């Protein structure tokens, strides 16, 4: 792979600074309350710099939503059922501190205003979880009769509901989000997984916050 030139490095840093600033603004004000001026000012850059990288505010929001999975901490060595659990717990713990994930959470409720038809956060996360659950089914951790795509949608919907409920609160209410996600899995796992697989699943915070 060819090394980036100094100009490309500067461009990459500018783009990253704009995305970070946009995440902070979206996290604080939502999509409707954000503007390209606020984003550029927060980043300490000109509007010209923003428009060089992004066509408009909608394009910035779409990029942050599309990047959400890359900001979720999880154990890289896990697979199958443990992988699905790690993804959701990593997301829940990440939401307590990562501006990018907070922005994604705030943007979910307004994504119809900026996502292109046929593309949204729910489908993105459903596909990621379905892949992990399909691997779990191939490993015979999940019962053969279980519709893993339906389970993936259920987990995404339940996690989104827990997120919206948590963000309607403050302080301890939001901090409780990882516990709510763990509680969801403890209710769901006995219904979809074989007993030996259920026993192997770990919920330790250290798995996804190292």
The torsion of the CA quartet 47, 49, 55, 58, rounded to 10 degrees, works out to -70
| Interval 43-70 mean pLDDT | 96
172 pLDDT exceeds 90? no
pLDDT in tens, 137-154: 999 999 999 999 999 999
Of 76-85, 92-101, 168-177, 186-195, the range with the lowest mean pLDDT is 168-177
Average pLDDT, the chain: 92
In this prediction the pTM is: 0.87
92 contacts 181 by C-beta, under 8 angstroms: yes
Instruction: Provide mean pLDDT across the span 30-35.
Output: 96
Full DSSP string of 147-208: -HHHHHHHHHHHHHHHHHHHHTS-THHHHTHHHHHHHHHHHHHHHHB-HHHHHH----GGGT
pLDDT band at 188 (very low <50, low <70, confident <90, very high): very high
Q: What is the pLDDT of residues 69-117, one digit of tens each?
A: 988 876 567 899 999 999 999 999 999 889 999 999 889 889 999 988 8
pLDDT digits (tens, 9 = 90+) for 18-31: 999 999 999 999 99
Angle between helices 99-108 and 121-138 (to 10 degrees): 110
Sorting pLDDT into bands at 50, 70 and 90, what band is 119? confident
Mean pLDDT along residues 190-209: 94
**pLDDT for position 24:** 97
- pLDDT of 26: 96
pLDDT category at 7 given cuts 50, 70, 90 is: confident
pLDDT at res. 173: 59
- pLDDT at site 73: 74
Average pLDDT over residues 52-74: 92
């Amino acid at each position: 792979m060819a090394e980036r030139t100094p100009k490309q490095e500067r461009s990459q840093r500018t783009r990253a600074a704009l995305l970070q600033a946009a995440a902070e603004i979206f996290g604080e004000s939502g999509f409707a309350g954000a503007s390209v001026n606020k984003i550029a000012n927060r980043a300490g850059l000109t509007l010209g710099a923003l428009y060089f990288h992004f066509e408009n505010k909608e394009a910035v929001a779409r990029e942050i939503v599309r990047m959400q999975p890359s900001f979720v901490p999880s154990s890289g060595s896990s697979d199958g059922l443990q992988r699905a659990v790690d993804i959701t717990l990593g997301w829940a713990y990440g939401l307590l501190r990562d501006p990018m994930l907070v922005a994604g959470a705030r943007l979910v409720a307004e994504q119809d205003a900026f996502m292109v038809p046929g593309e949204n956060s729910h489908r993105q996360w459903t596909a990621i979880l379905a892949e992990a659950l399909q691997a779990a089914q191939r490993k015979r951790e999940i019962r053969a009769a279980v519709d893993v795509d339906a389970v993936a949608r259920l987990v995404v919907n339940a996690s989104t509901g827990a997120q919206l409920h948590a963000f309607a609160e403050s302080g301890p209410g939001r901090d409780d989000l990882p516990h709510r996600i763990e509680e969801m899995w403890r209710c769901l796992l006995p219904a979809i997984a074989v007993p030996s697989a259920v026993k192997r699943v770990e919920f330790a915070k250290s798995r996804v916050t190292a």
